[in-house]
Structure 1
Amino acid sequence: MTLRISLRDGEKVVINGAVIRSSGRTDLAIESKVTILRGREIMTPAEASTPARALYFHTMMAYLDPERLEEHHRRIVDTLQSVSRLLPCEQGRAATARFAERAALTDYYRALGDCRTLMRLEHDALAQVTEVAA
């Protein structure tokens, strides 16, 4: 099965750990199993500023850096506990359970999607706290 990706001019993609930047609009056809993230899916350590964002970062690193999987997995477990405490609502519990299942199966790419859901829920929860405090 071929994976087709279109990149905008200057957009970055990480393929098996190599950072690639497109020059002009670029279409890629990937015909083997690879670890791949587009530039918009990549998070820097500085951007991991909340528990859910840190969970995304550690999951991304587990996906991209399998040589240090044990270290990344330990950080995922620790951070997931913080996220669970922050999001005790039904949606939060369901999203953390989906994430935990995928992470346990080392399906880190799909777990990143669950992290994006957790980041949205966290953003809403933090906005409510800020609203109440004001």
Structure 2
Amino acid sequence: MSLKIRLAPDEKIVINGALIQADGRCSLVFLNNCSFLTEKHIMLPAEANTPARRIYFMIQNCYMATDMERPPLLDALKHLVEDFHAATTVQSIKDTLDHIRELVVGGEYYPALKLSEVVMRHEDRHLGNGSWTEGRKKAEAAERRR
């Protein structure tokens, strides 16, 4: 089964750890399994500034890491999830964190990454934050105005 992704000019994608930038509008067709994230799904270290965002960031790093790099990242992720689980009183978020743990243990990093967005949205609502992608869009717009 193949997967086709369209990239805009100058859009970036990470494929199996390699950062690739489109020099024009293009399509990529993946004919086998690989780890990839498009630019809009890549959280930068400075954006991992809340507990839920650190969970997303660490899952992202586990997903992109090599087998040799992954063990210490998984250990750090385990502690982040445990801390959030202990701190929240919302059962649905506890259940979501439990599901994230199961996915990570099974090596299903991309589904765990997508599920961690639920935890981030919950945290953003309770902290009154905008989403991390909204913050990025505002920063990019400000940079273009300069």
User: Residue type matched to 2:93 in 1?
Assistant: G
Larger deviation: 83-92 or 94-103? Answer: 83-92
Q: Determine helix, strand or coil for the equivalent of 2:14.
A: strand
* Structure 2: gaps (5+ residues): 130-146
Cα distance in 1 for partners of 2:26, 2:99 equals: 34
- Structure 1 residue aligned with 2:135: none
Which residue pairs with 1:27 in the alignment?
27
Given that residues 7 and 22 in structure 1 are in contact (C-alpha distance below 8 angstroms), is that contact kept between their aligned partners in structure 2?
yes
Structure 2 residue 118 is the aligned partner of structure 1 residue 117? yes
The alpha-carbon deviation at position 91 of structure 1 amounts to 2.2
Q: CA deviation at 1:90?
A: 2.4
Q: 1:38-74 deviations in whole A, cap 9, x for unaligned?
A: 0011111111101110011111111101221111101
- The answer to whether the aligner puts 1:81 opposite 2:100 as a matched pair is no
Q: Secondary structure at the match of 2:128?
A: helix
Aligned to 2:47: 47
Question: Do residues 70 (structure 1) and 65 (structure 2) align?
Answer: no
Q: Percent identity?
A: 30
Partner of 1:131: none
Runs of 4+ in 1 over 6 A off after TM superposition: none
Offset, 1:88: 2.2
Which residues of 2 match residues 100-115 of structure 1 at below 5 A? 100-115=101-116
When normalised by structure 2's length, the TM-score is: 0.82
> How many residues get paired?
128
Which residue of 2 is the match for residue 10 of structure 1? 10
Distance 1:95 1:30 in 2: 30
Aligned mates of 2:99, 2:23 — CA distance in 1: 37
Contact 1:87 1:121 in 2 (8 A): no
Q: Output the amino acid matched with 2:89.
A: P
Residue type of the alignment partner of 2:26: T
CA RMSD, aligned part only? 1.4
Shift in Å, 1:97: 1.6
